[in-house]
Amino acid sequence: MKVCILGDGLTSLALAKALVNKGIPTDVFFSNNAKKKDTTRTLGISKSNIEFFNKNILNIEKLLWDINKIEIYSENLDNRKIIDFNNNKRLFSIIKNHELNTYLATRLKKNKFFKFKKNVDNYETIKKEYQLIVNCEANNKITKKYFYRKFKKDYRSYAYTTIIKHKKILKNNVAMQTFTKKGPIAFLPISKNETSVVYSIKGDKKIEIAELIKKFNMRYKIVKINKINCFKLQSSNLRSYYHENILAFGDLLHTIHPLAGQGFNMSIRDIKSLIKIIDYKISLGLNLDSSICEEFENNIKHTNYIFSNGIDFVYEFFNIESNTNNDIPAKLINFFANNKISNKFFTKLADEGIVI
């Protein structure tokens, strides 16, 4: 079997590394929309996904910064804490997007089963050479022809990302999120003296973000706020996951609101599901053909859809809480977060996703 992956983003490279680790020849085609790497973007990776990544893709422990406590606040309740998830061990970890991308690309280039190639935007050309085509590109001709039907939602919001430098904190391992009247802001530690900030704000782009970061900062003595980047927030779920031997993947399959930091975690779970199907076929001595696409859709589509809508429900619930003077929503959140049974359930859900 020979596989090609369209697009050279993070999910593409992670999937390619998982495949070449199994001795499957894999070519990655450069993206049509190559952009300068955004050094302000970070990723949260759950504990179970880190274990899978380390074992099946690449050991990334040296790039991770562990988080063992999560605190949630509400501006509507005078910035009072409403949720406190505490664990002496790793709850999840933060990693810089561009560092992981560079690490994967460097290791892939050394693998004899891997090649980077110039982009080819013609399905008829590549389908003759590859048994499986994985499309991770949102804007190529194949996507526009076969993968344009989606369930979409426009949040009418923008996400602002940056990294703040601050005075050193020896145990900078507490992730904090405040649901403000403008939207959720998250402070995600990445070292003793650096913390990533993600602020999702409703409305237009003309916002003085630096001042808002200072306003909702409750822990850090800020030395510098780095360049602030911005992108529009939308969620989407693809209606059909494949066409013949082309499998849609990554952000082309699903995008979600960043408030729970689950976007890349969903993609890792997709890789896990796809690799499991491939392993099973290999164990039976079966050909790795287009049936992989159908099995993947049957296995993962419904759980992805349920999980995506669950994240959207959380966003809408906190959106209501932030824009009302009623303290009932906050009391409900506080009750479920501090109930041992529900706390364990939601912690497991965030770590492993929906398991059916």
Buried b (16+ CB within 10 A) or exposed e, 130-157: bbbbbbbbbebebbeebbeebeebebeb
Buried b (16+ CB within 10 A) or exposed e, 25-35: bbbbbebeeee
Residue 54, token pair as written in the block: 């380390």
pLDDT at 11: 96
pLDDT at 148: 92
Backbone phi and psi for residue 266, each to the nearest 5 degrees, phi listed first: -65, -40
Residue 209, token pair as written in the block: 């973000």
pLDDT above 80 (res 355): no
Q: How far apart are CA 164 and CA 32, in angstroms?
A: 32
Would the pTM of this model clear 0.85, i.e. be above it? yes
Tens digit of pLDDT for each residue in 20-54? 999 999 999 987 665 667 788 899 999 999 999 99
More confident of the two residues 125 and 303: 303
Q: What is the mean pLDDT of residues 87-108?
A: 92
pLDDT above 60 (res 356): no
Domain count of the chain?
1
Tens digit of pLDDT for each residue in 67-92? 999 998 888 777 888 778 777 788 89
The CB density around residue 42, as the number of other CB atoms within 10 Å, is 26
Average pLDDT in the chain: 88
The three-state DSSP-derived secondary structure of 49-67 is HHHHHHHHCCCCHHHCEEE
pLDDT above 70 (res 342): no
CATH number at residue 168: 3.50.50.60
pLDDT above 70 (res 93): yes
Tens digit of pLDDT for each residue in 273-326? 999 999 999 898 888 788 999 999 999 999 999 999 988 888 887 777 666 666
Backbone phi and psi for residue 294, each to the nearest 5 degrees, phi listed first: -65, -45
Surface-to-core class of residue 175, CB atoms within 10 Å of its CB (0-12 exposed, 13-18 middle, 19+ buried): buried
pLDDT at 158: 93
| Beta strand extents in the chain (DSSP E only) | 3-6, 26-29, 42-46, 65-67, 69-74, 80-86, 92-96, 114-117, 132-135, 150-166, 174-179, 184-189, 194-202, 222-225, 229-238, 242-243, 246-248, 254-255
- Structural domain including 62 reads 3-352
pLDDT at 56: 97
Percent of the chain with pLDDT over 70: 87
Q: How far apart are CA 99 and CA 96, in angstroms?
A: 5
Q: What is the mean pLDDT of residues 231-257?
A: 94
Per the listing, tokens 């993600």 go with 198
Q: What is the mean pLDDT of residues 121-137?
A: 85
pLDDT above 70 (res 330): no
